[in-house]
Chains A and B, each alone.
Chain A
């Protein structure tokens, strides 16, 4: 079956620090990979995605590259802001009739201090 493993949290950083949140996966077939963000009290929003190997997804200064050889999709940002404080979820789907059936990692809580 499919599974997603995220780095243990929570992560606490100072403003302007570099962020990495690790994500590795196992999947049958060729998955599409996603990062979702959940701000306090809200639902999940898509942050970025990549649909094939070596694709780089990017949005709002965040980036992640689909690495098939290491089955990874690590999230990075060069300079975090207080407003980036949220829970970040790595997820995958394996397409076809299963598209939309997301498998999520456990989530990583990020807190950014001024």
Chain B
């Protein structure tokens, strides 16, 4: 039981490049979330998926898109990366009214 996995662990992009961050969970959780972590700002919600087939914007969705591919997988796409998107990205999942399980994070640098 791997929990929540994220790929890649590290990535460097040039401004304007695109990439997809992958997230998968093997706990049969319904809801999945993408957060970004910036120094001094805690974690902020980018997008979430309350259940398979649904996605909704969080606090900071601009510049991102998501896909809930199936119950296990929830990907985050940057279509045209900007330096302001340099951050650590965390994926998380939850069943119902219980704790969120976080992945190990993806450290993204945009130059």
Decide: A105 near B42, CB < 8 A? Known: A43-B104, A43-B105, A100-B94: yes
Contact of A102 among B40, B41, B100 (CB under 8 A): B100
User: Taking the complex as formed, is B44 at the interface, i.e. its CB lies under 8 A from any CB of chain A?
Assistant: yes
B104 touches A46 (CB 8 A): no
| Chain A residues positioned under 8 Å from B44 (CB to CB) | 104
Complex: A106 Cα to B62 Cα, angstroms = 21
Q: How many residues of A contact B (CB 8 A)?
A: 23
Decide: A89 near B102, CB < 8 A? Known: A99-B96, A100-B31: no
A102 touches B96 (CB 8 A): no
Residues 53 to 111 of chain B near chain A (Cβ within 8 Å) = 58, 90, 92, 94, 96-97, 99-100, 102-105
Complex: A4 Cα to B41 Cα, angstroms = 11
B100 touches A46 (CB 8 A): yes
User: Taking the complex as formed, is A97 at the interface, i.e. its CB lies under 8 A from any CB of chain B?
Assistant: yes
B33 touches A100 (CB 8 A): yes
Complex: A99 Cα to B33 Cα, angstroms = 11
Please name the residue on chain B nearest to A107 by beta carbon: B42
* A66 CB to nearest chain B CB (Å): 15
B45 touches A49 (CB 8 A): no
A44 touches B102 (CB 8 A): yes
**Hey, which bits of chain B sit against chain A, CB under 8 A?**
4, 31, 33, 35, 40-45, 48, 50, 58, 90, 92, 94, 96-97, 99-100, 102-105
Q: List 29 A-B contacts (CB under 8 A).
A: A4-B42, A34-B99, A42-B104, A43-B4, A43-B90, A43-B102, A43-B103, A44-B92, A44-B102, A45-B102, A49-B99, A51-B97, A91-B42, A97-B50, A99-B94, A99-B97, A100-B33, A100-B48, A100-B100, A101-B45, A101-B48, A102-B33, A102-B35, A102-B45, A102-B100, A104-B42, A104-B43, A104-B44, A105-B42
